[in-house]
Amino acid sequence: MPLQLPKSSWSTTELEDLRELSRSFMQKELVPHQERWAAEKKVDRELWNKAGEVGLLCLSIPEEYGGGGGTFAHEAVLYEEQARSGDSAWGVTVHNGIVAHYLSAYASEEKKREWLPKMASGEMVGAIAMTEPGTGSDLQGIKTRAVRDGDHYVINGAKTFITNGFHADLVVVAVKTDPEAGAQGVSLVVVETDTPGFRRGRVLDKVGLKGQDTAELFFDDVRVPAANLLGDAEGQGFFQLMLQLPQERLIIAVTAVAGLEAAVDLTLEYTKERTAFGRPIFNFQNTKFTLAEAATEAAVSRAFLDQCIERHLKGELDVQGAAMAKLWTTERVNKVIDDCVQLFGGYGYMTEYPIARAWADVRISRIFGGTSEIMKEIISRTL
């Protein structure tokens, strides 16, 4: 029997219908391809078009731009079902929940009408490029430059660890438009990847998230229209990032909690079927106590996450609240999945078992979107 938790307080009949559609899509289009995608380090490009056809892209973007016209709750349902399916390859959270929202919030009306419908259909895949080879969480320290030249910007620099980097048709790039101005010198500029001077480097070989295309990107005198600047003036990038990061961190929390719940379900099933010394592994006190703790961690994490989603839907989730959500849920999911691996014994270390893949996949959650240490720094500023 799977973990029994109450239905989320923000759930509706419409959202449960979307959940069924999402679950069916994952089982048909994602689950069968996991081993191949891991070997190839990327999903099939056609997956994006298939998702667009059934209406799973840009769920929370207004209908006038080709989106689903929904809310963050619609996105959360999709991300939960992806996590529960065991897939970590498809970079839909970045495409839907991050890139599309930067465009919706800050692009000009003309550019929104140009780009968002193509993202909603799967014609364009979105990525966001912040991290550089020498710069992680310190976005003020980025080196990629964008120099104004008439009606264009000329971009030079390099980015790394970019989700959807291999398939991306459109990249939101964090650049320095004024290298002497610190945070006030950061801007966001959109680069279409068929622009001369743009090139992709390696698809990176990671410990987990094997099937997710995570690439290096290079910009060599890339000329883009000045209209591709997000916002109505240079120097707004850092502020725009700070406004959007709470949703990014909440997305990470959503996938962390769904992954935690899925891991407990897998382990409950395994320990009740697998025997040792003539009885099911579940019947040993250590197993029961470990899973009792795991079930409690899942229940507490779900309750906190639901509270944060409700706040976000009302526009009330602040920076520290999102940091708390990311910190708590990612630390908990790492602990619980590690405990679950232990209960699987040697099989928990075999990549053919979903629990082993989950263990490798989830480790990055304490790093990307801001490390756990950065989350503590953010939270401490409010104390």
Residue 11 to residue 30: CA distance in whole angstroms: 24
Helix H or strand E segment including 217: strand 214-225
262 beta partners:
none
| Stretch (H or E) spanning 363 | none
80 is catalytic: no
Note the Cα 326 to chain centre separation in Å. 12
List 248, 269, 297, 352, catalytic entry: 248
Q: How far apart are CA 74 and CA 62, in angstroms?
A: 13
222 burial level (CB within 10 Å; 0-12, 13-18, 19+): buried
Query: Do the bridges between strand 152-163 and strand 214-225 make them parallel or antiparallel, or are there none, so unpaired?
Result: antiparallel
Tokens, residue 83: 């996590």
Alpha-helical regions (H) of the chain: 13-25, 34-40, 46-54, 72-85, 92, 100-106, 109-121, 237-273, 285-313, 319-344, 354-362, 372-380
Cα distance between residue 327 and residue 331, in whole Å: 6
Nearest-angstrom CA–CA distance, 142 and 157? 9
| DSSP code string of 283-315 | GSHHHHHHHHHHHHHHHHHHHHHHHHHHHHHTT
Q: Which residues are catalytic?
A: 248
